[in-house]
Chain A
Amino acid sequence: MNTYEPAEVVLLAHGSGGSMGHELVEKRLLWHISNATLNRLDDSAVLNGHRRLAFTTDGYVISPIIFPGGDIGRLAVCGTVNDLAMVGAQPVGLSLALIVEEGLPLRTLDTIMRSVHDACGEAGVDIVTGDTKVVSRGQADQLFVTTSGIGLLAEGTDISGSRAQPGDSIILSGCIAEHGVAVMSAREGLSFRTTIVSDCAPLNGLVREMLAAASEGIHTMRDPTRGGVATSLNEIASQSHVGITIDESVLPIRDEVYSACDMLGLDPLYVANEGKLIAICAPEMAADTLAAMRGHRLGKDAAIVGQVSDDKPGRVVMRTRMGTTRLIQMLAGELLPRIC
């Protein structure tokens, strides 16, 4: 008999943002540091006793560090600003820690720091504290960045992955899968030419408009980064114990992204976004929320893409263009292009 007993090591697939990543976090990390605030597993913590304060942190290890439409600096600012925005908070200050591999051209560092500055300007926030470490060649891949952020929540805002309710509408803020396809197009060994650029952008301005239009109607927000829309919807369905149905025919996606995914054998629902959000809101507030989103530069392609139900809690399904229904699972393992 042949029993396959894999060694207990961290795999690249643990970092893909899908179900393996969840398993690592839930079984290995939370085990040691579990507490009520952390266990909510929302994009930012809302601090107990300081209901108005949100706090989040994120590490960035993207390769290549400069990609079509952005770089690791812009990504690190937007990612943290967006995590704050996903609980309804506006950023008041960010930290920036750089781990630099020896040999990184200073010109590259300049480019990235200029992006940090520009993205902060767009989000209306400053880097208020920072740290820099240099490690010897091979101990990091050019540049790793960690940002943390503190944000303030307005009165009455209560947004969480666990608040989606049956009957709610699901709104997507714009066209999906652009960041992942843009990065993949720039990656060594996967060269294909495309004009697609990353959608990387700070979403706090868009969120401000949404909250102004429908503050208490918005129950859940998520930015579908690694693992894509499919993984975020699965997280919400399981955190809120609800069923989710989306409609393929209304999913916003650009033709060139759709074609690139088709060619590479990738399902756009699993490809990363860095400037999009999913909002789940009370049905009677859906029209106002959508109108507010469409009035903002980053939400002009927003669309209602599905509904929340009490059918089969934890499960996400999609009505296909063909009129049939298929299951949408969480991403498992790494996202790989097909071979035939």
Chain B
Amino acid sequence: MRFVDEFRDSKTARAIAERITRISTKPAQFMEFCGSHTHALLRFGIRDMLPPAVSMRSGPGCPVCVTSTHDIDRAIAISRMPGVTVATYGDLVRVPGSRSSLEYARASGADVRVVYSALDALALAEANPSTDLVLVGIGFETTAPTIAASVVQAMRKEVNNYRVLSLLKRTPPVMEALLSLGEIKIDGILCPGHVSVITGMEPYAAIPSRFGVGCVVSGFEPLDILRAIEILAQQCEAGTPDVANAYERAVSIAGNRVAQDLMNEVFSPCAAEWRGLGQVKDSGLSFNPQYANFDATTRYAPEVAPAEDPSGCRCGDVLRGSCLPEDCTLFREACTPQRPIGPCMVSHEGACAAYFAYSTHT
């Protein structure tokens, strides 16, 4: 038996889904913050197992999706500078900027590489000392410590041609910004599992009392998610929102202190721009002064015009949970994975891509 099989057992899943149906007497709307949760909800068909009273909305937890058009334009501008190699993660290469994408920049001569980790990007810098390697660093608290580690290592090894364009984001400030907005009714949050491995449970502590919304940390397997939704449903029915950990095998109360220290050593919170939410205070990570040499923005200050999001694209609304992908008129018609208009259709963690790929409701 494979390790994951015990978390994908269909009998247990049905039993939990039946319990959720039994306890849900009134309509409840939960937000899965993380794109990987949206993906799992659709890939495993979990949405179809839930009772009609329980609905799920996607949140802003997809690092590719929340990266603003303006920041994409900056990354493209850097990729076109002479002597620069740009490295980035996964599907960011395909996200449309205002006039191009890193994928098109690569096709027209820019050196753009896809890497799996920041340490691979650092290795590329070491192997090609005559070029300047710029890692377009996107991601949340899950990715930030590994990028910080690559910077610390670059400093120690005196790798002088390694730089990071930090588009990193912090989860707690944006969760609060979203709840403060009060745009849609949220009865509970399915909190991101991987992020919580690093941050621990503390960031969620104030949310239940401040916003009357429960926070349950969930893993990414079907039984993890169903169990977390069951706890949210119980809290919601009882009117007792609380913080709970339904991913005990990976998440501790304190989180990963080593990773947190590493992140704080290299970065400090700063304001950051989010697609769909605009500027959010303290929600980004910028370089501490002693690491300024590794900051791509110190060395390259690409002048790019302010950018608007593509016309008609509702990625911003999708990321705030104020609509479902299917509510966007571009969805599946003008906007497809082959010709994506917004990032939520590009990224594998994007809500639109997940609905496009898996949803049989058409």
**What is the interface of chain A, defined by CB distance below 8 A to chain B?**
1-7, 9-13, 19-20, 23, 188-192, 255, 258-259, 262, 264-265, 317, 320-327, 329, 332-334, 336-340
Contacts and interface: CB of A to CB of B under 8 A. Distances in A.
Nearest to B99: A4
B13 A338 contact: no
Interface in B4-61: 4, 8, 10, 13-14, 36, 42-46, 48-49
A336 B357 contact: no
A10 B107 contact: yes
B150 interface: no
Contacts of A327: 357-360
B310 interface: yes
Given A11-B107, A337-B116, A189 B359 contact: no
B288 to A, nearest CB: 23
Contact of A326 (B43, B104, B307, B310): B43
Contact of B143 (A10, A23, A325, A340): A340
A4 B36 contact: no
B113 interface: yes
A255 B2 contact: yes
Contacts of A23: 338
A1 B311 contact: yes
Closest 9 CB pairs of A and B: A324-B45, A332-B337, A339-B89, A2-B308, A326-B358, A336-B90, A339-B90, A9-B107, A189-B115
Contacts of B107: 7, 9-12
B293 interface: no
B96 A4 contact: yes
Interface in B120-152: 120-121, 123-124, 138-140, 142-143
- Chain A interface, >50% SS class: loop
19 contacts: A4-B98, A4-B341, A11-B107, A13-B103, A258-B2, A265-B90, A322-B10, A323-B13, A324-B44, A324-B49, A325-B360, A326-B358, A326-B359, A332-B337, A336-B91, A338-B90, A339-B64, A339-B90, A340-B140
Contacts of B101: 6
Contacts of A258: 2, 4
A336 B114 contact: yes
B222 A322 contact: yes
Given A322-B10, A326-B42, A4 B310 contact: yes
A327 B48 CA distance: 13
A190 B116 contact: yes
Contacts of A336: 90-91, 93, 114, 348
B360 A190 contact: no
A11 B103 contact: yes
A23 B2 CA distance: 38
A12 B138 CA distance: 22
A339 B64 CA distance: 9
B237 interface: no
A68 B182 CA distance: 53
Contacts of A329: 337, 356-357
B311 A3 contact: yes
Interface in B44-102: 44-46, 48-49, 63-64, 69, 87, 89-94, 96, 98-101
Contact of A338 (B100, B115, B348): B348
B36 A333 contact: no
Q: By CB atoms of chain A within 10 A, which of B63, B140, B360 has the most?
A: B360
Given A7-B104, A189-B114, A190-B115, A322 B120 contact: no
B360 A326 contact: yes
Contacts of B176: none
A321 B91 CA distance: 28
